[in-house]
Chain A
């Protein structure tokens, strides 16, 4: 896998465990359901914990675990399902400061929006040209709304 984080290619890999695969002593992500069931066990085994949310999952159950988790992965399948945009926003609003990563078949054209709602990392298959993807963050220099990013809404600049 290839990853962009904070606008830069990075080379930090995570293993995405299915609900059946045994946990390992390395950074791994698990489904929300597995996290809620095996929380204590996972914290003992894994060197770092990530949780994967499907679009239908509510992020609120993670509110009490925010310090234990260093990655939340949002599943963007299909890319037209806009719920992950709100999931990211809610995670930031409830105070989560770790990595939020988009994974799935999202389009380059959605990355600017995702970066605005709190997503700071993007996971791609190996055959993707990251330099091309990096251009996505520069498509717009003007934003009308306040969101979860540092870009200022234009009414505060006028």
Chain B
């Protein structure tokens, strides 16, 4: 993975020192609340329901064991012993004290981490495929480009006071696991007719109040022009994005109101002016790429007799293997997904002791690295298949082996009303109530792949609009109600969910889910997935079943 040189380290140290001084000025009354707000947000610090919330950047989701141990230390020393992984591959702490945040930033800087631009109206953490570098369907590893974008966007002098936040995702695989179509900019590595690799550029996707699927404004961008093209998009956005209404300030509204073709022409105009002066430095690309070369994999047989035997003799292990491991591009290895969704706990949460133990497993079994997924799980991407049984047994003791990845209980949820001052309704208790429907894995596995996403308000941090089943908390005369949508997706076949009907009371949500599941079981054909069935039959049969007694 990428390692800081003294320039990277100096910048992060200087940023931590700057924030220490800003915090001092705020506490001394030299900065007003309004003046301090954008400064603290650009260091990931929110003022929340109970305490400040600190969001720490995990660039494109990649962590070393040393960094995971530091995250454990921070959870222990400054928080209540846990952290919460987010849908943008970051981690949040819900209980730090403002006075101690400068110390946390110093601790982070000591392991090449920071909280720069994890909030605020600036370019946020660049996210990517959690299987980058190991995916069997990968055209090219996107992480060197993510790192180059990270550096370009860090403390960008022109684009730190944008109309609104700005999120970039990069995917290098055929299957989009980075939700590029619902980002402000989505970059998809593609080949052109000449067989050269470059980027397909999408803009204007996003969730929140006005969910929109991004549009392609350039089908093929040469790699050499990556940064000039991004700079051109950002300049057009910074100039013309709306600032009169924060709900209309995202680039998606500018693209929609301008029209994608005209917006693309504005970007091209700007790009022509700057592109020749901003060519991607070939030496720098090589320098960065060298950090992402394949690990020293052993030459292993693609079939392992021991593993075959374990799969036959241990049904529980076999279930975990099917749900929580995925193929690797190197024979004899698999990527292992650590489920952060054990039934009955807040999705995406992890304790300090789990983090420490996982850091040891990373060192022992996966080249000392781990990745965060946008579905709030973790991936040890390089595990030898002859060691899978050992790894499973150890993860099981840590309660990180719930064999539910991709199923109905592997939900994305935002923190909701329990923690967030924006929320209208709780999210985590709703997720736990749905998990409680499944007292047997047979039922869960019978339903197969279902993505259920829950947001506590229309800002949509739980990505409800792109859930196969989306659940949105709404406030109805002071009570928590939930609006259900069906058939959303953030993958290649991206689509926004369709509203099922009137919202339902909180205690009715589990029963409504049961009816949706049963309708699917009645209507599915052969191996059809939930999403395929809903797309084939439409939402009407689901509406009829859900609302029949109302």
Residues of A bordering B, CB below 8 Å: 58, 79-83, 85-86, 89, 93, 107, 109-110, 112-114, 116-117, 139-147, 154-158
Segment at the interface with A among B3-11, B188-196, B299-307, B443-451: B3-11
B59 to chain A, nearest CB (A): 13
Report the nearest A residue to B122, measured CB to CB: A82
Q: Mark B156-169, 1 if CB is under 8 A from A, else 0.
A: 11111111000000
Contact between B238 and A86 (Cβ–Cβ < 8 Å)?
yes
Return 18 A-B CB contacts under 8 Å, by A number. Answer: A80-B161, A82-B158, A85-B158, A86-B158, A109-B22, A113-B158, A139-B14, A139-B18, A141-B10, A141-B14, A142-B7, A142-B8, A142-B11, A145-B157, A147-B158, A154-B8, A154-B151, A155-B281
Contact between A155 and B284 (Cβ–Cβ < 8 Å)?
yes
- Kindly state whether residue B539 has any CB partner on chain A within 8 Å: no
Given contact pairs A86-B239, A113-B160, A145-B157, a sample of 5 additional A-B residue pairs in the complex whose CB atoms are under 8 Å apart: A79-B35, A81-B243, A93-B274, A114-B157, A140-B11
Contact between A158 and B273 (Cβ–Cβ < 8 Å)?
no
Q: Which of B1-51 contact A (CB under 8 A)?
A: 5, 7-8, 10-11, 14-15, 17-18, 22, 31, 35, 38-39
Contact between A93 and B157 (Cβ–Cβ < 8 Å)?
no
Report the nearest B residue to A157, measured CB to CB: B7
How many pairs, one residue from A and one from B, have CB atoms within 8 Å of each other in the complex? 94
B119 to chain A, nearest CB (A): 14
Report the nearest A residue to B11, measured CB to CB: A142
Query: Which residue of B238, B281, B283 is within 8 Å of A85 (Cβ)?
Result: B238
Q: A139-B18, A142-B14 are in contact. Are A82 and B162 (CB under 8 A)?
A: yes
Q: A109-B18, A139-B14 are in contact. Are A80 and B158 (CB under 8 A)?
A: no
Complex Cα spacing A158 to B287, Å: 9
Q: Which B residues lie within 8 Å of A139 (CB)?
A: 14, 17-18
For this complex, into which size category does the number of interface residues on chain B fall? 35 or more
Contact between A158 and B5 (Cβ–Cβ < 8 Å)?
yes
Q: Which B residues lie within 8 Å of A80 (CB)?
A: 38, 121, 161
Looking at chain B's contact residues, is the secondary structure mostly helix, strand, loop, or mixed?
helix
Complex Cα spacing A142 to B22, Å: 19
Contact between B161 and A109 (Cβ–Cβ < 8 Å)?
no
Contact between B156 and A145 (Cβ–Cβ < 8 Å)?
yes
Complex Cα spacing A93 to B232, Å: 13
Q: Which A residues lie within 8 Å of B15 (CB)?
A: 140
Q: Mark B364-383, 1 if CB is under 8 A from A, else 0.
A: 00000000000000000000
- Kindly state whether residue B398 has any CB partner on chain A within 8 Å: no
- Kindly state whether residue B152 has any CB partner on chain A within 8 Å: yes
- Kindly state whether residue B154 has any CB partner on chain A within 8 Å: yes
Complex Cα spacing A158 to B14, Å: 19
Complex Cα spacing A85 to B235, Å: 10
Query: Which residue of A86, A89, A154 is within 8 Å of B7 (Cβ)?
Result: A154
B308 to chain A, nearest CB (A): 49
Q: Mark B211-241, 1 if CB is under 8 A from A, else 0.
A: 0000000000000000000000001001100
Q: A107-B39, A140-B11 are in contact. Are A112 and B22 (CB under 8 A)?
A: no
Q: Which B residues lie within 8 Å of A146 (CB)?
A: 277-278
Report the nearest A residue to B5, measured CB to CB: A158
Q: Which A residues lie within 8 Å of B121 (CB)?
A: 80, 82
Q: Which B residues lie within 8 Å of A86 (CB)?
A: 158, 235, 238-239
Q: A81-B243, A82-B160 are in contact. Are A145 and B152 (CB under 8 A)?
A: yes
Contact between B156 and A83 (Cβ–Cβ < 8 Å)?
no
Contact between A144 and B152 (Cβ–Cβ < 8 Å)?
yes
Q: Which A residues lie within 8 Å of B161 (CB)?
A: 79-82, 85, 110
Q: Which B residues lie within 8 Å of A154 (CB)?
A: 7-8, 151
